[in-house]
A = this chain, B = another copy of it.
């Protein structure tokens, strides 16, 4: 049985199914049967990924337990496995985990009886972000075949870049990378182009967040926007139908001119909206694979009425 560790695990058909399920959930859904418990274990700060999962879980009718790594036994040196196993023991039906280690999934592999969803692992993977990005492109173009997509920014430090590039290629897109000096990752097998080439040629420009503290003296942050970012001038030169994406949080005025964050081409807030449905699709798929989708362990809304009869629900 699979955890949701990486988009690499899923075939092109399976990814297409997930995209279509997410799209369908957007126009209507209903809660899971029974009382199911989602436990979110975030060992790194997160606003949007965590909130997005919490929202997805609530929309599916799950009960949500949040784990604050800052106020927890992890401070006492407990292993991730023991924490996860504890949550399984107390009745979690699913775990969502973000952790700074690159390979934390290996510690859990084959050792749990409930599915785990990777909400971020070090700088290697962020597959639910990957799926929501694919969903946003799929909704726009209906296909990936023939699309030219540039991933631009802090490639070396970005788990989004790693998660997305291979999936996009497998789905049929042509992937380009674009990075300021010091941000390249030579291990990725995609051609580098300049931001201006990307602007002229590509259907999708996926900007990445710059982490100020990480650039290495090759350039000055004050000039990043002008030299490597999405200026108003560059936006005006993009193809008619081309779109701008960013996983957020955005550094306004660094990766992108502040005025462009909500411009017509921008899909930035649409990506966030899509994140909820992408995650609902992933949760649904995992719960189905693990045989828990219809688990009526406890009928959440079944109440014994005052007179001793059971409501027929």
Q: Which residues of B contact A30 (CB under 8 A)?
A: 302-304
Known A-B contacts A51-B65, A86-B48; A251 and B77 likewise in contact (beta carbons under 8 Å) = yes
Cα-based distance from A301 to B61 in the complex (angstroms): 9
Cα-based distance from A157 to B47 in the complex (angstroms): 31
Q: Check if A90 sits within 8 Å of B302, measured CB to CB.
A: no
Q: Check if B273 sits within 8 Å of A91, measured CB to CB.
A: yes
A297 → chain B, closest Cβ, in Å? Answer: 10
Known A-B contacts A45-B75, A90-B52, A304-B30; A68 and B68 likewise in contact (beta carbons under 8 Å) = yes
Q: Is A58 an interface position by the 8 A CB rule?
A: yes
Known A-B contacts A55-B37, A65-B51; A276 and B90 likewise in contact (beta carbons under 8 Å) = yes
Q: Which residues of B contact A100 (CB under 8 A)?
A: none
Give the total of A residues in contact with B, Cβ under 8 Å. 67
Among B47, B76, B272, point to the contact of A67 (Cβ < 8 A): B47
Cα-based distance from A98 to B69 in the complex (angstroms): 18
Cα-based distance from A75 to B54 in the complex (angstroms): 20
In this complex, the member of A35, A46, A47, A87 whose beta carbon has the largest number of chain B beta carbons within 10 angstroms is A47
29 contacts between A and B (CB under 8 A): A30-B303, A35-B58, A47-B72, A47-B74, A47-B78, A51-B87, A51-B90, A55-B65, A55-B90, A59-B91, A68-B68, A68-B71, A69-B71, A70-B70, A73-B249, A76-B249, A78-B248, A79-B252, A85-B269, A86-B248, A86-B269, A88-B269, A89-B272, A90-B272, A90-B275, A90-B276, A301-B301, A301-B303, A311-B313
